[in-house]
């Protein structure tokens, strides 16, 4: 099976604070991240705030420009495309946002927002426009009456559905869902998760599902990637990552997850997340890792196979087995 999206060695640094006359401080948001997503696959991306999840999501869509790395979508190098070609290519890749209140233009009716999406790529013009719009809102569980209302007339969950409809309007093959259910209440979150799962089953769309909630990611994703300070810590099948993590950071995340079941001993992390402006040498996790050894400071650990189908960026093999 060839990958739909193939990203390798993605890096991105943001300038921070004032730009001094001589020095220009930067914050390394991503460092050498590689990933691939197969057609119809859901790849989950978890990590704490500031770990670079959204940066990946936007960089693979080229909504922000990464410093290095290649992004191949369906075999084409996205970074080599001209502005015009890129705009045409956007038809195949869409994004759903976190904040249901900021993601819709308050001045546009649902119809206008969806029509704009179709117009941009000249889809379903003329006669076929209305049936398509009706179909779209129904696909996300709203009634056609919703078309002529404005965002403020909808609840958060309904807005999120509209955001999904807008993304689906151009029939993309790939969607980035950036914390798409994080701002929602539990009951609504479940509705949206089910909706995404159904869409995937029905249309075979690929999804990059970004969330800080491990159990949500476990439920929806086929594979999960764990990020820390802009670097990949672990990658593997969702259930394996959740039930048998091989990286100390993943293990700590899983054990910190609040759960109804009685909790196993929590892995305590010491200290705080270091500043991305000067990350620790070697393994970036070492300042908080309960298993850190002096060697951990020497070189950045490469991803290596571990457990069943996992890849971990930890040099130690004698823990967590």
Partner 1 sequence: MSLSLPKPMRLPSLILLALVMTLVFGPMIMSADPISISVKDRMALPSWSHWLGQDEFGRDRLARVLYGGRVSLTVAFLASVIACVVGTLFGLIGAYFRGPFEFVTMRLSDVVLCFPPILLALLVVTLFGPGVTTLVAVLSVLYFPAFARIAFSEALRVAALDFVEAARALGAAPRRIVLRTVLPNILGPISVQFSLTAAASITIESGLSFLGLGVVPPAPSWGQMIRGARAFMNQDPTGILVPCAALTLTIWSINFFCDRLRDTLDPKHGESAGKDEIAKARADAAAAAAGPAQILDADVVAQVKDLRLALPRPEGPLALIDGVTLTLRQNECTALVGESGSGKSLTSLALMGLLPSAIRPAGGRILIHRKTGGTVDLATLGERETEDLRGNDVAMIFQEPMTSLNPIHRIGAQMIEAIRAHKAISAEEARARAVELLDLVGIPEAGRRIDSYPHELSGGMRQRVMIAMALSGEPKLMIADEPTTALDVTIQAEIVELLQRLRQEYAAGMSLLFISHNLGIVAEIADQIAVMYAGEVVEQGPAAEVLATPHHPYTRALLDSMPSAHEDLHSSRGDRLAAIAGTPARPEARPSGCAFRDRCPQARPCCAESRPELYPTGTRAARCFFAPGADQPQEREAGA
When CB distances are held under 5 to 8 angstroms depending on the partner's kind, the choice from partner 1, ligand SF4, none that residue 315 binds is ligand SF4
Q: At what angle do helices 156-169 and 110-120 cross, to 10 degrees?
A: 20
Which of residues 187 and 318 has its CB atom nearest to partner 1 in the complex?
187
Going by C-beta distance under 8 Å and a sequence separation of 6 or more, which residues neighbour residue 80?
Answer: none
Q: How far is the CB of 251 from partner 1 (least distance, A)?
A: 11
- How many residues are present in the chain? 321
Which of residues 6 and 179 has its CB atom nearest to partner 1 in the complex?
179
Q: How far is the CB of 89 from ligand SF4 (least distance, A)?
A: 38
In the block, residue with structure tokens 């705009």: 87
Q: How far apart are CA 177 and CA 206, in angstroms?
A: 10
In the block, residue with structure tokens 């739909």: 4
When CB distances are held under 5 to 8 angstroms depending on the partner's kind, the choice from ligand SF4, partner 1, none that residue 121 binds is partner 1
When CB distances are held under 5 to 8 angstroms depending on the partner's kind, the choice from ligand SF4, partner 1, none that residue 283 binds is ligand SF4
Which of residues 82 and 270 has its CB atom nearest to ligand SF4 in the complex?
270
When CB distances are held under 5 to 8 angstroms depending on the partner's kind, the choice from partner 1, ligand SF4, none that residue 298 binds is none
User: Helix, strand, or coil here: 44?
Assistant: strand
CA dist 38 to 43, 190, 226, 244, 304, Å?
9, 25, 18, 23, 21
CA dist 307 to 224, 234, 241, Å?
14, 11, 10
When CB distances are held under 5 to 8 angstroms depending on the partner's kind, the choice from partner 1, ligand SF4, none that residue 317 binds is none
Which of residues 90 and 231 has its CB atom nearest to ligand SF4 in the complex?
231
Which of residues 134 and 278 has its CB atom nearest to ligand SF4 in the complex?
278
Which of residues 87 and 128 has its CB atom nearest to partner 1 in the complex?
87
Q: How far is the CB of 292 from partner 1 (least distance, A)?
A: 16
Could you tell me where the DSSP H helices lie in the chain? 53-60, 83-89, 110-120, 129-139, 156-169, 186-203, 214-220, 238-243, 248-256
Q: How far is the CB of 263 from ligand SF4 (least distance, A)?
A: 22
When CB distances are held under 5 to 8 angstroms depending on the partner's kind, the choice from ligand SF4, partner 1, none that residue 120 binds is partner 1
Q: How far is the CB of 276 from ligand SF4 (least distance, A)?
A: 17
When CB distances are held under 5 to 8 angstroms depending on the partner's kind, the choice from partner 1, ligand SF4, none that residue 316 binds is ligand SF4
Which of residues 88 and 299 has its CB atom nearest to partner 1 in the complex?
88
Q: How far is the CB of 214 from partner 1 (least distance, A)?
A: 7
Give the number of other CB atoms < 10 A from CB of residue 229.
23
Sites of contact with ligand SF4 (CB under 6 A): 248, 283, 285-286, 289, 291-293, 296, 301, 314-316
Q: How far apart are CA 18 and CA 200, in angstroms?
A: 44
Which of residues 272 and 318 has its CB atom nearest to partner 1 in the complex?
272
Q: How far is the CB of 227 from ligand SF4 (least distance, A)?
A: 14
In the block, residue with structure tokens 């759960």: 259
Q: How far apart are CA 223 and CA 240, in angstroms?
A: 9
Closest to 78 measured CA to CA, from 66, 55, 231, 39: 66
**Cβ proximity of 83 and 76 under 8 Å:** no
Q: How far is the CB of 141 from ligand SF4 (least distance, A)?
A: 22
Q: How far apart are CA 178 and CA 99, in angstroms?
A: 9
When CB distances are held under 5 to 8 angstroms depending on the partner's kind, the choice from partner 1, ligand SF4, none that residue 132 binds is none
């Amino acid at each position: 099976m060839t990958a739909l999206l193939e990203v390798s060695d993605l890096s991105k640094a943001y300038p921070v604070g004032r730009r001094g006359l001589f020095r220009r401080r930067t914050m390394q948001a991503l460092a050498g991240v590689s990933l691939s997503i197969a057609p119809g696959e859901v790849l989950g991306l978890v990590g704490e705030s500031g770990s670079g999840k959204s940066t990946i999501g936007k960089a693979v869509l080229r909504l922000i420009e990464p410093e290095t790395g290649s992004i191949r979508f369906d075999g084409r190098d996205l970074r080599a495309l001209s502005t015009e070609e890129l705009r045409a290519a956007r038809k195949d890749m869409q994004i759903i946002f976190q904040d249901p209140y900021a993601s819709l233009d308050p001045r546009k009716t649902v119809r206008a927002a969806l029509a704009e999406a179709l117009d941009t790529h000249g889809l379903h013009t003329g006669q076929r426009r209305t049936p398509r719009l009706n179909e779209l809102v129904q696909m996300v569980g709203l009634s056609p009456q919703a078309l002529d209302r404005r965002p403020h007339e909808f609840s958060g969950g309904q807005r999120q559905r509209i955001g999904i409809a807008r993304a689906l309007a151009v029939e993309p093959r790939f969607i980035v869902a950036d914390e798409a259910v994080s701002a929602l209440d539990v009951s609504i979150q479940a509705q949206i998760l089910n909706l995404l799962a159904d869409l995937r089953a029905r249309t075979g769309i690929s999804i990059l599902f970004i969330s800080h909630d491990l159990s949500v990611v476990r439920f929806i994703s086929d594979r999960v990637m764990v990020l820390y300070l802009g670097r990949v810590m672990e990658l593997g099948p969702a259930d394996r990552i959740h039930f048998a993590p091989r990286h100390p950071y993943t293990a700590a995340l899983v054990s910190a997850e609040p759960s109804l079941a009685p909790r196993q001993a929590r892995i305590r992390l010491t200290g705080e997340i270091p500043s991305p402006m000067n990350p620790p040498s070697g393994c970036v996790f070492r300042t908080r890792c309960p298993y850190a050894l002096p060697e951990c400071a020497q070189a950045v650990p490469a991803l290596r196979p571990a457990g069943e189908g996992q890849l971990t960026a930890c040099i130690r093999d004698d823990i967590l087995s």
